[in-house]
Chains A and B, each alone.
Chain A
């Protein structure tokens, strides 16, 4: 099932890669945000089915943005797509209630986790 996805990453280059990957899987991209602040604002407007969230962003980091989004909508589906492999961040993401935590270099896992989230919806 195709999902409406909001892609959050401060790198336009990485957003482009994620967008292309998601489109090939049949999902539609409803918005792109380059910071946590923009992500929170766009989430309120768009109410997407899924948010792919980067962590290292200057304006507001992904964990803080996810916390704000989940405080407003506890049913929000947030998937962290990050370069950080530190277990502490992974544990923090799980504690927040994220639907997954995958490494940006691992495209197979990204596709797999997104497909899994889609099936559960």
Chain B
């Protein structure tokens, strides 16, 4: 099956897919791909970290005016007096560092959690399903819950399995019809003299029609390096590179 056929979308007048159009910016975000969601989340968390850092720097700046870095680190004024209170004490400095660290942990933790939940686990289930299908088990169900790229991949594999199943079942059913017709012919021939030519011709017509259906099914597929012309396989090698 050609990839173009797998991308067959479900359209109706008015254009677009069957997907319901999102109505709000939150809806737009929820409909966006996983990559976009992760990017938005990372951007917001990074923006928050930058904002906190900026505030921290603004709070520190009055202390820096007219004082040396050593004074600030030691918590002393240039005249030797101990700093008891001020815009930024060492205690507050530690708190802010801890807060920034917490933000970083939250940021990376969220990303890792989302990555595992939305990428690793769904990809794992897709891999397991694809493996089962390659062994001939087409009954395995693929969850289409995850949106974005993983969901699209799962749907594409499900479509492939549906097509594979359809063709196999049609092939089997058509072959079954032909076998029945052949068995009837055998019975008619066994009853020598009783079978009319017309009955035999009818059974031959059934076999011919079924075989033509089988042939047309195979002809509808697109293969690499070959094509089926309805009777035989015709090689269709790519042109040699010059």
Contacts and interface: CB of A to CB of B under 8 A. Distances in A.
B1 interface: yes
B12 interface: yes
Interface stretch (A13-21, A71-79, A94-102, A112-120): A13-21
A83 B82 CA distance: 90
A30 B162 contact: no
Contacts of B166: 9, 11, 13-14, 83
Q: How large is the interface on A (under 10, 10 to 19, 20 to 34, 35 or more residues)?
A: 20 to 34
Contacts of B5: 12-13, 16
Given A16-B5, A42-B18, A11 B10 contact: no
Interface residues of B, number: 25
A58 B141 contact: yes
Interface in B124-163: 141, 158-159, 162-163
A107 B165 CA distance: 19
A83 B213 CA distance: 14
Interface of A: 9-17, 30-34, 38, 41-42, 45-46, 58, 83, 85, 103-105, 107
Given A12-B163, A107-B213, 17 more contacts: A10-B162, A11-B162, A11-B166, A12-B8, A13-B163, A14-B163, A16-B220, A34-B159, A38-B18, A42-B18, A46-B12, A58-B141, A83-B166, A85-B173, A105-B174, A105-B177, A105-B213
Interface of B: 1, 5-6, 8, 10-13, 18, 141, 158-159, 162-163, 165-167, 169-170, 173-174, 177, 210, 213, 220
18 contacts: A11-B163, A11-B165, A11-B166, A12-B162, A12-B163, A13-B163, A13-B166, A16-B5, A30-B12, A30-B13, A31-B12, A32-B11, A42-B12, A58-B158, A85-B173, A104-B170, A104-B173, A105-B173
